[in-house]
Structure 1
C-alpha cells in the first residue's frame, strides 16, 4: 500500500467514529432547509409565473437566519418543558427540527400561483424554524468539538451540509420535474428524519450553562441587592442582562484592541458577493432556457460536489497558510467567478460554459465558506456559545439578505451581465480587509477577565 493510499484510507476510516457520523447527519439537517427558502423556492416561483422582482424580495424571508441573535438567548438558557430532559441543546434541536418538518409540509400543500402571500408567510415560518435549529446546532457543534479535532469534525459538518444542498437543490428539482413541487417538498420533509433521529441518539455536551464572567456576576449581585425594587423586576433584569447584554459586551471585549472595527467590518462584507448573486442563480439559468433537470445536474449535483472539493482545498490551505490567507483566496475566487458569469450572460447559452462557470464559483464558495466558519467559530466565548455565534451570524447575513432582496429589481433595471459585474465588485472590500486582517490576530491573547 502506498503512503497516499494509506492516508486516504485513514481519512475515510475516520468517518466510522460515531461523533463524525453525528456531525455529518446534523450538518445535513442544518443544510436541508436552506435552499428550500432560497434558490429552490425561486425556481418554483419562476415556474408559477411570479414576477422576478417579487422573487428577489422573497430572499427577505430568510432574514430569520440573520436576526436569530434576537432569540438566541432563549435557546442558550431557557429550558423546555417535557423535552428539557434531553438537555439544553438537544431539546431545542428536536423542537426546531419538528417545526421545520411541519413548515415544509404546509409549503407542499400551498400554491404560489394562487396565493403567493401565503407561500411567503410559510417561507418565513420555515426560515424561523431552520434558524432556531442552527442556533442550537452551532452551539452543540462548538461545545462538543475538542480543540484537537476541530478541523475534521468541522469538515464533517460542512460535508453533511453540502450533501443536504444536493438533496434540497438537485433532489428537489428532479422530484419537481417528475412528480411536481408538492411531492418535492413532502420528500424534503421526510428527509428531515435524519436530523430527528440523530438528535435522539447523540449525547448532550458537558459544558456548564452558567459559566459566566465576573462582570455578569457583579451586575446580577447589584440587581439582587436592590431590595426596594419588585422581585420580578430584579430577577428578569438580571436574566436579560446576563443572557442578552453580557454576551454582546463580552464579544467586543474579546476582540483585539485597535482593530475590532476592522474585524466587524470584514465579517459584514465577506459574503456579500456570493450571497447576492446566489439568490437569482436559478432564475438566471431558467432565463437562458435550461431545464430543471439540466440545472439540477450541473448546478445542484456537479456544483455542490465541486464545492465539497473546495472544502477539502480549504482544509489544506488553512493548514499551510492559515485562515487569513485562505479567506483572501476564497473571496478573490468568488469575485472572479462572478465576472465569468457576466461573460456567460453576454453570450448564447452553452451548457459546457455554464458548467465551467459553476465549477469556478463553487470551488471559491467552498474555500471561502469553510475558512469563514473556522474564523467565526474561534470568536465566541464558552460562556455564551449560542448567543455570540448567532450575533456574528447577524453581522454578516443581514446585509447579505438585505442586498439580495433588491437583486431582482436590479436585474430588471440593468440586465444580468452588469448585475454580475456588480456582485463581483461587492467582493472588493472583503478582499482588502482580508489581506489586512491576515496579518493581525482577531482576539486578545487572553480573554478579558471581567
Structure 2
C-alpha cells in the first residue's frame, strides 16, 4: 500500500522538478548571506554591505517582466526550457565574471554583477515555476512541490554553508564563486534532458494580451477575490509566529549558537520530512482535505513557542520540540500551498499568473514584521503566539467557503 504512494516520485517529471528546484535555489545565497561574508572579508564597512542587500530587489518585482516570458518563447527546447537554459547560461557566466573581481577595487562592477545574478535568478524562478506547473500531472503536484523544496534547500546549503566552508581556508573567495559558476553551468544539462509538458499551449498573440489576459481570465472566475484572500491568509499565522522568532528565543535566554544549530539541523530536517510527508498524504487525501489538516497543524504548532514563553527559562528539549513541530507542519503546509498555486494557474498564462500568486504568498512574510513588533510590545510574547495561532483561523474559514472550488481544482 505504501509503495503505491511512493511510486509517484519515480518518474522523469518529478526528477526534473527536484533538480530544477536545486537550480532555482543555488544563486540565492550568492547575492545574500555568502556575498555578505565575502564583502566583510574584503574589508568593506557595514554601511556598504547594507546597501548590497538591495541587489535582491528583482526577486520582489519579477512579476513585472513575467508576461515577457509568456509572450516570447525561445525558438528551441519548447516554450519553457529554452528560457530556463538561457537564464542558466547567463547565471553561470555572470557568477564566473564576478569571481574575477575584487570588491575593493571594482565595487561598482561587482555590485552590477550581483544585481544581474539576482535578475537572471528571479527570471529563472518565473520560468521554472511555470514549467513545473505545466509538466506535472494533477496527482503529481504535491510530490513535485515537495521535491522542488528539497532541491531548493539543498542548493541553499551548497551556496551557503558549503561555500563558506570552501572559502574558509580551502579556496579563495574568487575560486569558491568559480566553483558555484561551474555547478550552475551543469544545470543546463538537466534542462536539456528534462521532459516537455504533454499539453502544449500557444503563447499570447501580443504583449498586451500577455499582460491583460492573465488578469482578465483569473478575475472572470467565480470567487476570484476570495481565492486571492486565501493565497494571502493561508500561511499568515506562520508568518506572524516566525517574524520575530530569533529575537524571541534570544530574549528567552537561548544562545545564538544553540538557536542556529536548532534551526539548521532540526528545523531543516523537519521541513524536508514535512514536505515529503505532505506530498504522500496529499495523494491519499486530495488537495482540499490536505490544506485543511495542514492548516490546522500550522496553527497548533505555533503554540510550541507559547509553551517556551510561559516556561520562562531556556529548555533545550522544549526548543527542539517547538522548532521541529513548527517546521514539520510548515513543510506540509508549504507543499499544499504550492500545489494550490499550480492548480490555480491557467496553462496559457502560467508564468504571469504564478508570479503574481507567489508574490501574494510573500505578502505576509514581508510585511508582518513591523506589526509583530508593536503587537509584542502591547501584549507580550505569550499572548503574541496565541494571537499568531488565531490569525490562521481566517485562512481555514476561507478554505471552507471555497471547498467546492478547490475540489474542482483537484479533478
Indicate whether the TM-score tops 0.5: yes
- The answer for unaligned runs of 5 or more in structure 1 is 213-237
Matched, 1:265 2:229: yes
Q: Map residues 32-431 of structure 1 onto 2, 5 A cutoff.
A: 32-38=26-32, 61-80=55-74, 84-105=75-96, 122-177=113-168, 179=170, 182=173, 184-210=176-202, 239-254=206-221, 256-257=222-223, 260-272=224-236, 290=256, 298-318=262-282, 319-320=284-285, 322-333=289-300, 335-336=302-303, 339=306, 347=313, 355-398=320-363, 400-402=365-367, 425=387, 428-431=390-393
User: Residues of 1 paired with 2:133 and 2:86: CA distance?
Assistant: 20
Alignment counterpart, residue 398 of structure 2, candidates 421, 436, 442: 436
User: Residues of 2 paired with 1:269 and 1:24: CA distance?
Assistant: 27
Aligned residue pairs, count:
401
User: Residues of 2 paired with 1:377 and 1:250: CA distance?
Assistant: 15
What secondary structure does 1:438 align onto? helix
User: Residues of 1 paired with 2:241 and 2:167: CA distance?
Assistant: 23
- The answer for unaligned runs of 5 or more in structure 2 is none
Is the CA contact (8 Å cut-off) linking 1:77 and 1:243 kept in structure 2?
yes
Q: What does the per-residue CA deviation read over 1:229-258, in whole Å, with 9 as the maximum and x for residues that have no partner?
A: xxxxxxxxx72331000101111112x33x
User: Residues of 1 paired with 2:95 and 2:230: CA distance?
Assistant: 34
Is the CA contact (8 Å cut-off) linking 1:339 and 1:420 kept in structure 2?
yes
| CA apart distance, 1:355 | 4.2
Q: Which moved more, 1:40-49 or 1:184-193?
A: 40-49
Q: What does the per-residue CA deviation read over 1:312-344, in whole Å, with 9 as the maximum and x for residues that have no partner?
A: 232354333723313413531563355467689
CA RMSD, aligned part only? 4.6
Q: Cα gap change, 1:343/1:134 in structure 2, threshold over 3 Å: closer, same or farther?
A: farther
User: Residues of 2 paired with 1:283 and 1:188: CA distance?
Assistant: 32
What secondary structure does 2:344 align onto? coil
| CA apart distance, 1:116 | 8.7
User: Residues of 2 paired with 1:428 and 1:331: CA distance?
Assistant: 11
User: Residues of 2 paired with 1:429 and 1:152: CA distance?
Assistant: 28
Is the CA contact (8 Å cut-off) linking 1:328 and 1:434 kept in structure 2?
yes
